[in-house]
Amino acid sequence: MNKQLMYGTHALAEAAIQAGCTCYFGYPITPQNELPEYMAQRLTEIPGGVFIQAESELAAINMVLGASAAGARALTSSSSPGISLKQEGISFMAGMELPAVIANIMRGGPGLGNIAPSQADYFQATRGGGHGDYRIIVLAPGSVQEIADLTFRAFDLADTYRIPVMILGDGMLGQLMEPVIIPKPRQEPLPEKDYIVSGAQGRQPRVIKSLILDTREMEEHNWKLFRKYQLIQQRETRWESYLTDDAELIVIAYGTAARIAKGAIKRLRKDDPNMKIGLLRPITLWPFPTKAIKESLSTASDYFVFEMSAGQMVDDVLLSLEGKGRVHFYGRPGGIVPTPAELARSIARRYYQMKRTRKR
C-alpha cells in the first residue's frame, strides 16, 4: 500500500482490517469517535464484517468476548472512562484465554476529567486493570506509522498467546495526521483455533469459561497464566533507544510524551553537542523493558522520567533500577501537553545539576 496521510484513529482502524479484524463493537466517547465512524463504513466492505454501536462499553466488550469465542478477530476502542467499564470483560477474557484487541485513546481524569490527551491510565493498563491475577500486553505507539504497525501486530500477539492486547494511545496521537504506510493484508490464512465454539459437529462440545470452583485447579490455572506471562516477558519486550550509547542522563517516556522528549533532546544536543543525554522509549508497557533500563546503568547515572500524568510509569523505572541511579520525575497531568522547549529546559536543569554533583 502507498504512503497516505491519515489520522491516528483511522490508521488504527485500517491496520486492524488489514490484520483480518472483521468485528468492531464500541460506544462513542471523545477523543476516539473517528475510529468507530471509520469502522461503521469500512466493515460493510468486508465479507462477514460486523459493526455494532453497542448500548454501553459493558455490552461492547462482551460482544467482543462472544465474537472472539466464535473465532473472529475483534476490536473495540474507547477512552478512559469507557475502558474502566470494560475491565470486567477484559478480566473474563484473560481468564478464558480469549484474544482481543482493545484501544484506549486516553484522556484526562479521574472521573469524567476532560477530553485532552493524557497518560493517566498507565496503572490501569499495566496492572491488569480488572479483578484477578492477570496481565495483558500493552503496546504504546509513538507515531501514526507505529499505531498502524503495532495494531497489525497486536492481532497476531493476541492469537499467539490467547490474550487481550491493549493499544494505549492518547488524544494527541489519535487526532494526529501523518503520512503512513498501512501494512499489507496477510496472505496466509489465519491460524486454526482449536478452542472456539462453532457447534459440536463431529467433535466433543467445547466450553469457554473462567469459573474454576476447585481451588487446586484454579491455582494451576493461575500458574499456567503466569508461565505464559513469563514467556511473553522473555519474547515480546520492545523499546527504542535514542542516543543512549554515551548518555549519562536518560530520559524515559512513552507515546506522545516520548515524541516531545525526542524533540527536546534533539534541541539540547544541537545547542550543546557535549551534552550526553538520550531517550529510552518503552514500546511495550507490559512487558516493561526492565532489563534494558537496568543495563543502561553502564553509562547513565541519572534518569529523567517524563509522563503526562502525576507519576505512574516512574514506579516501574524505580523497580527496574533496583535502587541504583538517581530518578527524577517530571509530570504534566490533567491534559497538559508541554512543548519540547519547555521540556528541554527541565531536562537541561537536571543535567547541569547532575554535572555539578558529579564534580564535587
Partner 1 sequence: MKRIYVRPQTLRPVPMHYCPGCGHSIIHRLIAEVLDEMKLREKAICVPPAGCAVLAYNYLDIDMVEAPHGRATAVATGIKRVRPANLVFSYQGDGDLAAIGTAEALHAANRGEQITVIFVNNAVYGMTGGQMAPTTLLGQKTTTSPFGRNVKTEGPPIKVCELLAGLGSSAYLERVAVNSPANVKKAKSAIAKAFTYQLRKAGFTLVEILSPCPTNWKMDPVAACRWIDEEMMTVFPLGVIKDLPC
Q: Which residues bind partner 1 (CB under 8 A)?
A: 22-23, 25, 48, 50, 52, 54-56, 58-60, 62-72, 74, 88-89, 92, 96, 197-202, 205-211
Closer residue to partner 1 (CB): 213 or 270: 213
Residue 92: in which H helix or E strand, if any?
A: helix 80-96
- Cross-sheet strand order for the sheet of 23-26: 50-53, 23-26, 74-78, 100-106, 164-170, 137-139, 284-286
Using alpha carbons only, what angle is made at residue 126 by residues 121 and 131, rounded to the nearest 5 degrees?
Answer: 95
Say if CB 325 and CB 300 are below 8 A apart.
yes
Closer residue to partner 1 (CB): 62 or 78: 62
Closer residue to partner 1 (CB): 48 or 111: 48
Closer residue to partner 1 (CB): 208 or 243: 208
Closer residue to partner 1 (CB): 186 or 206: 206
Spatial separation of the C-alpha atoms in residues 311 and 313, rounded to whole Å: 6
List, in sequence order, every residue forming a beta bridge with 338; answer none if it has no partner: none
One-letter identity of residue 246: D
* Cell reading at 92: 473474563
Q: Least distance from C-beta 56 to partner 1, angstroms?
A: 6
Closer residue to partner 1 (CB): 198 or 339: 198
Q: What does the DSSP 8-state code read for residue 99?
A: -
For 96, what's the count of Cα atoms within 13 Å in the CB-facing half-sphere? 26
Burial 116-134 (b: 16+ CB within 10 A, else e): bbbbbbbebbbebbbeeeb
Tell me whether residue 63 is exposed, middle or buried, using C-beta atoms within 10 angstroms of its C-beta: 0 to 12, 13 to 18, 19 or more: buried
Closer residue to partner 1 (CB): 100 or 247: 100
Q: Least distance from C-beta 194 to partner 1, angstroms?
A: 13
Q: Least distance from C-beta 43 to partner 1, angstroms?
A: 11
Q: Least distance from C-beta 68 to partner 1, angstroms?
A: 7
CA distances for 29 relative to 90, 112, 211, angstroms: 19, 11, 32
Q: Least distance from C-beta 233 to partner 1, angstroms?
A: 28
Q: Least distance from C-beta 73 to partner 1, angstroms?
A: 10
* Cell reading at 216: 487446586
Maximum Cα–Cα distance across the chain: 78
Closest CA to 351 of 280, 314, 300: 300
Q: Least distance from C-beta 196 to partner 1, angstroms?
A: 9
Spatial separation of the C-alpha atoms in residues 76 and 247, rounded to whole Å: 40
Closer residue to partner 1 (CB): 49 or 183: 49
Closer residue to partner 1 (CB): 47 or 323: 47
Q: Least distance from C-beta 50 to partner 1, angstroms?
A: 4
Q: Least distance from C-beta 48 to partner 1, angstroms?
A: 8
Closest CA to 142 of 240, 233, 278, 235: 240
What is the three-class DSSP state of 180? strand
